[in-house]
Amino acid sequence: MSILVTGGAGYIGSHTVVELLNAGREVVIIDNFSNSKPEVLERIKQITGKDFKFYEIDYLNRKELEKVFEENEIEAVMNFAGYKAVGESVQNPLKYYNNNVSGAIGLLETMNKYNVKKFIFSSSATVYGEPEKIPITEDCKTGGTTNPYGTTKLFIEQILQDLYKSDETWDIAILRYFNPVGAHESGLIGEEPQGIPSNLMPYVVRVASGDLEQLSVFGNDYDTPDGTGVRDYIHVVDLAQGHIKALEKLEKEKTGIYTYNLGTGVGYSVLDMVKAFEEVTGKKVKYKIVERRPGDIAICYSNPQKAKIELGWQAIKTLKDMCKASWGYMQK
Ligand code: UD1
């Protein structure tokens, strides 16, 4: 039996495939390289010394997707084939709703047809909108997303809830990621944003490497210890391991729909990040304070207790580990 990983060549997908292979799982990847590169597949093999099956297809192509289910014995599906650029989603919402929402629906319909009912979904802390309380627990209200990307995550969560209500033989884990950063310790796989990065860590890396002149810190007048935005940065390898634990949970227990925060439970400010990065790399990260970025919130960090208790999972890597890994990948 295999685990089907859509978007398995992407940033979080590739790290999760490494963990799946290390755990002795058989893996089938589909990817259309819309935001990733074929080399990643070779690198996964290099890291793990293991092989997997690969299909270069767009998961929106129902006919080709069905072929994957015809040709393999799929036990569960992990869906990483989502677009994730917040700014682009505002410019081109239909592209996001089509790929993320229609893509997920097509995938679920195909799973249904082949009677594959275990589904692990990559959601985001963005579904909490302006958080009801900090630290955020899974029962906090969702909604009030500030961009189409976030809304696609919210919609898919709702679709999954409705699906389970209609048919309790589905077995679903919704994983709400906080801010994934870092890279594999080998330096062989990591995040490669196209163009100028909009997320903090990739931007910091490019400033430290001399590629970009300086970081713009979006506001220092928030109600936080140093005035800059606070987030729950989580190492992508910790995050990937969370998926393995979620899969084990679905396999172990009776069917259900489960939602988990995947975060560290610790919040760091933009300036904490800059400082940690400078300490770890010995590089200067030049920055200037600018206006707040529209749509940003002051503080967002998780209460990760539910995942700890129910999945036996906990993030263990520190902010410095994250900086070191991101820098290591950049240098390679
Ligand atoms: C963003 C998305 C979120 C998505 C996540 C993926 C928004 C509103 N949210 O979260 O939906 O799931 O990325 O990781 O865009 N910052 C700077 N200067 C920069 C970049 C960022 O000061 O050049 C600050 C931000 O104001 C924020 C923190 O760094 O306080 C983190 O920003 P970022 O990495 O973009 O993530 P989020 O905005 O938390």
Neighbours of 133 (CB within 10 A): 10
Average pLDDT, the chain: 97
pLDDT band of 133, cuts 50, 70, 90:
very high
Is 238 in contact with 319 (CB distance < 8 Å)? no
pLDDT by residue (tens digit) across 154-177? 999 999 999 999 999 999 999 999
Q: Are 173 and 250 in contact (CB under 8 A)?
A: yes
Q: How far is the CA of 301 from the centre of ligand 1 (A)?
A: 13
Q: Is the confidence at residue 195, as pLDDT, over 90?
A: no
pLDDT-above-90 percentage for the chain: 98
Q: Is 71 exposed, middle or buried (0-12, 13-18, 19+ CB in 10 A)?
A: exposed
Among 153, 176, 179, 226, the mutation site with the greatest number of ligand 1 atoms within 8 A of its Cβ is: 179
- 200 CB less than 6 Å from ligand 1? yes
Where is pLDDT greater, at 295 or 274? 274
Gap from CA of 27 to ligand 1 centroid (Å): 32
Please work out whether the CB of residue 249 comes within 6 Å of at least one atom of ligand 1.
no
**Residues 76 and 118 sit within 8 Å (Cβ to Cβ):** yes
CA 56 from centroid of its chain's CA atoms = 21
The answer on pLDDT for 190 being more than 90 is: yes
Q: Which two tokens stand for residue 62?
A: 């129902």
pLDDT at site 193: 79
Nearest ligand 1 atom to alpha carbon 228: 30
- SS3 string of the chain? CEEEEECCCCHHHHHHHHHHHHCCCEEEEEECCCCCCCHHHHHHHHHHCCCCEEEECCCCCHHHHHHHHHHCCEEEEEECCCCCCHHHHHHCHHHHHHHHHHHHHHHHHHHHHCCCCEEEEEEEHHHHCCCCCCCECCCCCCCCCCCHHHHHHHHHHHHHHHHHHHCCCCEEEEEEECEEECCCCCCCCCCCCCCCCCCHHHHHHHHHCCCCCCEEEECCCCCCCCCCCEECEEEHHHHHHHHHHHHHHHHHCCCCEEEEEECCCCCEEHHHHHHHHHHHHCCCCCEEEECCCCCCCCEECECCHHHHHHHCCCCCCCHHHHHHHHHHHHHC
Q: Which residue reads 């590169």 in tokens? A: 37
In angstroms, what is the span from residue 215 Cα to ligand 1's centroid? 13
Q: What distance in Å separates the CA atoms of residue 31 and residue 237, rounded to the nearest whole number?
A: 20
Beta bridge partners of 262: 177
Buried b (16+ CB within 10 A) or exposed e, 35-56: bbeeebbebbeebbebebebbe
The reply to whether ligand 1 has any atom less than 6 angstroms from the CB of 124 is yes
Q: How confident is the model at residue 192 (pLDDT cuts 50, 70, 90)?
A: confident
Six-digit token string for 211: 């590629």
- Span 193-214, average pLDDT: 94
* Closest residue by CA, ligand 1 atom 4: 126
Q: What is the pLDDT of residue 332?
A: 87
The DSSP bridge pattern shows strands 268-269 and 118-124 to be unpaired
Ligand 1 within 6 A of CB of 179: yes
Query: Residues in the chain, how many?
Result: 332
User: What per-residue confidence (pLDDT) applies to 245?
Assistant: 98
Question: pLDDT tens across 204-230, in order?
Answer: 999 999 999 999 999 999 999 999 999
Is the C-beta atom of 220 inside 6 A of ligand 1?
A: no
151 lines ligand 1 (CB under 6 A): no
pLDDT category, 194, cuts 50, 70, 90? confident
Per-residue pLDDT at 252: 96
Catalytic residues: 149
C-alpha torsion 78→84→89→94, nearest 10 = -20
d(CA 38, CA 304): 34
Please compute, for residue 24, the number of CA atoms within 13 A of its CA located in the half-sphere on the CB side: 1
d(CA 150, CA 185): 29
Which pLDDT tens digit goes with each residue over 12-66? 999 999 999 999 999 999 999 999 999 999 999 999 999 999 999 999 999 999 9
Residue 294 β-bridge partners: none
